[in-house]
Amino acid sequence: MLCFAWGGSTEGYAQRALKHRKGLLNADSIRAQNVADSLALLDTLNIRQKRIEELEAPVDTARLMRQSDSLQSRKPVTIKEKKKWLPTPNNSIWLSLAIPGAGQIYNRKYWKLPIVYGGFVGCTYALTWNSKMYKDYTQAYQDIMSDNPNNDSYMDFLPAGYTKEDVQNRLDYYQELIRKRKDVFRRQRDLSIIAFIGVYLLSVIDAYVDAELSNFDISNDLGMTLEPAIFNDAYRKLPQGIGLQCSIRF
């Protein structure tokens, strides 16, 4: 019985000690919370006091006026627009006459250069080829028309296996054949010269027209109007008739 009594008293003492400790901890936490709240309130009051002092401070009007004057004295920033380059028709045409394709370069239409120089190259090749063939057929025609048997350059234009005896048997036919071919290559040579001159003139005209139209005003304001009009006599200045007048704006 003494043991049970001792055990019961010990357990009761432990419970009372635990409750006392919890009470102390709760009191400490409450005091810490109160201290934190007091510090936060103090910081808030200090911030409000500083704002009130800033609002009540005298305004430096001289400094504000100096800032205003400095802002007004600043020059406005102007954005320079890039000036559009416009070619001169006279310069363009003279450059094209001096150097083929120079007018297109002056007008800054570089994509036209392959067309211009391609035309010149094609005409030059055709002129060279037709001139060479015309010269060879001219010599062959002179040889076949001569009585000298050593002049046989015309044999180069006949199919393989033909002999001079075959040519002599049909001499009139081969003379006419070589003459016609000579005339064909002469005609093609002349056409090549005309085409070369045509490409040259077209390059000059293109450069001039391109320079003239570079300053052409292309506006979106397009329209057509119909309105009644009175037509006057050109000599007596009297009304001659009534009709409709059409005006196109572009």
Burial class from Cβ neighbours inside 10 Å (0-12, 13-18, 19+) for residue 195 reads middle
Residue 241 or residue 182, greater confidence: 182
By percentage, how much of the chain surpasses pLDDT 90?
32
pTM above 0.95, yes or no: no
Whether residue 102 contacts residue 206, with contact meaning beta carbons closer than 8 Å, is answered with no
Rounded CA gap, 92 and 212, in Å? 10
Q: Give pLDDT, residue 65.
A: 66
Please give the single-letter amino acid code of residue 176. E
Q: Torsion angle of alpha carbons 51, 52, 54, 60, nearest 10°?
A: 150
By percentage, how much of the chain surpasses pLDDT 70?
60
Please tell me which of 79-88, 123-132, 137-146 the model is most confident about, judged by mean pLDDT. Answer: 123-132
DSSP letter at 77 equals P
Q: Give pLDDT, residue 1.
A: 39
Q: Give pLDDT, residue 2.
A: 35
Please give the single-letter amino acid code of residue 216. F
